[in-house]
Structure 1
Amino acid sequence: MFEQPVIDERIATIAPGFRAMSVLVDATAASQCALDPDILGDACAVVSAGGPAWAESHLASWAQAYQRFGAKPNRTPCSAQALRKRVLRDGRLPVINPVVDLYNAVSLRYAIPVGGENADAYAGHPFLTIADGTEAFDTVMNGEAVIENPEAGEVIWRDEVGVTCRRWNWRQGTRTRLEHASGRMWFVLESLDTMPEEALRGATAMLVDGLADLMPGSTIVATRVALSSASNWRKLYMAASLGA
C-alpha cells in the first residue's frame, strides 16, 4: 500500500494557502493506449496565447514562496514556471513519454506544478518538509550518477531513503523517476491561493481523465492533501529519518 503524503506544518509559513492533490494510480493490470497526440500541443498553444488567466499571479506567488526559503526563482524556478518559459521561448515542448507528456500538458494548461513519480520506488510516506542539509539526493551530473545534499532550510520532497525532489518541485531525483506507463504511479498537483479552487479541480480532472484514457483498467484515486499536525508530521518524519 502506498503511503499518503505528509505535509510539514512549517510549509504554511513559507506558502500560506498551499493546497495539493495527490493522485495514485495502479496500472499493474491495465491496458495500454496511445495518448491524445494533440494534448501537449494544445496546452502549448494556451500558453502562447497568454493563458490561463491566473498564470502570472500564480507563478509570481510561487516565486515569492521560493524566495522565502532562500532559493533564487530566476535560477531555480518552480517546475510550472520552467515549462512555461520554455514554451514562450520555443513555442513547444519536446515529446518525452506519454505519462510525462500528459502531466506536462496539465501543468502548462493550468499553470500549476505537477510531479509524477514511480510509487513502487518510494519508501514510506512522501514528505514535503524542510531539509536539514544532510539528506541524500541522487541525480546525474555530466552523465555520471552523483549524490548531492540539499541546502539547510530548503523545501524538499523526500521519503525514508532520501530526497526525491529538490527546491520543492524544481528537480526530481533519479531513484523515483517515472519512466513507464506501468506499475504504480504517484502524481502531485501543487497550488497556492492565487490559483482558483475550480482550476485546481479542473487540473486534477484533466490528469485523472488522461491517465484513465492512457491506461484503461487502471485504478485511480485522487485525494486532497492537508497540512499535518505538529505531532503527526514530526512523529512520521523522525521515523523516516531514523530509517534512512
Structure 2
Amino acid sequence: MPNDAAAWLDSAAIDPAVHALRPDYRALLITAEGLRPGPSDELSERLLADAEQAARERFGDGPVEEHPHLAAWREAFRAFGAKPQRTRPSAEALLRRAPAGLPRVDRLTDIYNAISVAHVIPLGGEDLDHYVGAARLVRAEGDETFETTAGGEPVLEHPAPGEVVWRDEAGVTCRRWNWRQCTRTRLTHATTRAMFVLDALGPMDDTALKAAGDQLMEALTTVGPGVRLASRLVSAP
C-alpha cells in the first residue's frame, strides 16, 4: 500500500521487453486520493449515455475492430500470442457492448468505462490500498499468480510465458495488457485511493491521450471535489 500516491507514480515502470514488442506504447498513469466511491449515480449515468451515443455516431453498424487504435491493439495482442477474437482488448470489448447498453457497475467504474468508450482507449482502475510495491508492465515468466473468480469462487491462475501483464510485488494485477483485472486490486464501494491506466499505441497521439486523461480527472473531481490527483506519462526511453 503506497503512502504517497504521487511519489509512488515515480516507481512505475515498463519493462524493456514490452517496449521492444511495441515501441509506440505509452501509459498515462493517474492517481486519485480522497475519492467518493459508491453506486452508479446521475453523473456516471450521463457519462455512460453520452459515450453510448458517441459510439453509435462513430461506428453505426460497422465493425469497431477496424478503428485504427483498436486495430493496433489487436496487432499488439497477437504479437505476444493472444487471440483477440477470444480475449479482446478492453476498449473493443466495451464498444461491442455499447449498442445494447454499457454495463452499470458503480460510480468509479462507470466513469472510467465511459471515458474508455468515448475516447476509444483501454482504461482500467486499481485500488491503491491493495497494491503491494511498484506497478510494472512486464512480459510474464509464467509462474506469477493472478487472483480471479470462476463460477463465483476464487481461482488462482497463471499467465502464459511471454504474456504482457501489469504486476506488483504480490502478483499479476491485469492480464494480457488490459484484458482482465485481478480481484485483489479491483475498485469497490470502499475504494478511496485509486490508480488509473490509460493505454495508448501509435494511432492515438499524445494530445488525444491527454484529452482522455483530462476528462477522467475532471469527472473524478466532480464526483469528489476534495480529490487529490497526480499523473505521469510513461513511454519508451
Same fold (TM over 0.5): yes
Distance 1:161 1:31, change over 3 A: closer
1:184 Cα offset (Å): 1.1
The residue number in structure 1 matching 2:52 is 44
Q: Secondary structure at the match of 1:117?
A: strand
How many equivalent pairs are there? Answer: 225
**2:182 corresponds to 1:177:** no
TM-score, scaled relative to structure 1 = 0.86
Report matched runs for 1:1-244 at 5 Å: 1-2=4-5, 3-4=8-9, 5-27=12-34, 34-36=41-43, 37-50=45-58, 56-88=67-99, 90=100, 92-180=101-189, 182-227=191-236
210-219 vs 13-22, which moves further: 13-22
Partner deviation per Cα, 1:17-41 (whole Å, 9 max, x = no partner): 111111001116x698955231101
Q: Aligned equivalents of 1:178 and 1:35: distance in 2?
A: 19
1:95 Cα offset (Å): 1.0
Q: Aligned equivalents of 1:26 and 1:83: distance in 2?
A: 26
Q: Secondary structure at the match of 1:152?
A: coil
8 Å contact 2:37–2:188 — kept in the other structure? no
Q: Secondary structure at the match of 1:38?
A: helix
Query: Which 5+ residue runs of structure 2 have no aligned equivalent?
Result: none
Which letter maps to 2:30? V
Query: Which 5+ residue runs of structure 1 have no aligned equivalent?
Result: 229-244
Cα RMSD of the aligned pairs, angstroms, is 2.2
Q: Aligned equivalents of 1:205 and 1:169: distance in 2?
A: 20
TM-score, scaled relative to structure 2 = 0.89
Identity %: 40
Q: Secondary structure at the match of 1:223?
A: strand
Partner deviation per Cα, 1:119-166 (whole Å, 9 max, x = no partner): 010001011000000000000011110100000010000000000011
Q: Aligned equivalents of 1:214 and 1:183: distance in 2?
A: 12
